[in-house]
Structure 1
Amino acid sequence: MDPQIAIIRIKNLRLRTYIGIKDDEINNKQDVTINAQIHYCASKARDSDNMDDALNYRTITKKIIALVENNRFSLLEHLTDQVLQITKEHPWVDFASVEIDKPHALRFADSVSLQLCYDKKQQS
């Protein structure tokens, strides 16, 4: 059978964490919204219908939640990179993208966001 690329999308995962460098940000948790995309070859899972042949998005999401809620971050770049590391850690992952929004970070904007990507092809 032809290889098929699966795209797992974790959409609008809303969490609270300490993020920022101002005193108010250091002392008070803020909302963040996480969107992640993970690409992997799903041919084996498609053919077997066995969970062991698929990426477990629940496990990935639980790791992200634990990371974000149990740590402090000064920079959105660092937080986004740490989440990206979780999304790409399985050897089957060919591409991963993480975007994190920090709502109300700017007075006249809905949010500020940062996106980082991993592409296995670019790593070789």
Structure 2
Amino acid sequence: MSHNAIITITNLRLRTYIGFNEEEKRKQQDIIINAEVHYPANKMCLNDNVDNALNYKVICKNIISKVENGRFLLLEKLTSDVLAICADHSWVTFAKVRIDKPHALRFADSVSLTLSYQKSDEEAL
């Protein structure tokens, strides 16, 4: 029997330069990141072996570094870059990232973009 482990990072609140108008280029904005990373949980991982689990702290630190040190014109590029970090490890079979940009529209709580990655059958070999 195989088990599927799912790491979920919920409401990671960061600030970055996002957008293409002059005000957005000068002032950092709040963003909210939600990420989900799937990988096979083998028996060693389920037996509390740290070396056989995906390290969510490393994933989170890499996301923070990329976001806080980056400048992005498009929400699509930012979301794609964060997804690449989540899908970077060879064990990852599926990853999904949603990034919300609060206050982007006057009458909406936020605007968000979601991207996902699915390992293909060829990649799994």
Q: TM-score range by the shorter chain?
A: over 0.9
2:14 is the alignment partner of 1:45? no
Which position in structure 2 is the counterpart of 1:18? 17
Which position in structure 2 is the counterpart of 1:120? 119
Which position in structure 2 is the counterpart of 1:94? 93
Q: Deviation digits for residues 6-49 of structure 1, max 9, x if unmatched?
A: 110000000000000011100000000000000000123013x1
Which position in structure 1 is the counterpart of 2:4? 5
Using structure 2 for the length normalisation, give the TM-score.
0.94
CA, structure 1 residues 10+123, in 2 after alignment: closer, same or farther (shift >3 Å)? farther
Which position in structure 2 is the counterpart of 1:75? 74
Unaligned runs of 5+ in 1: none
Shift of 1:50: 1.3
Percent identity (aligned): 57
CA distance in 1, matches of 2:50, 2:80: 28
Using structure 1 for the length normalisation, give the TM-score.
0.95
2:34 is the alignment partner of 1:35? yes
4+ runs of 1 displaced by more than 6 Å? none
Shift of 1:121: 2.8
CA distance in 1, matches of 2:25, 2:61: 24
CA, structure 1 residues 110+123, in 2 after alignment: closer, same or farther (shift >3 Å)? farther
AA aligned to 2:101 is: K
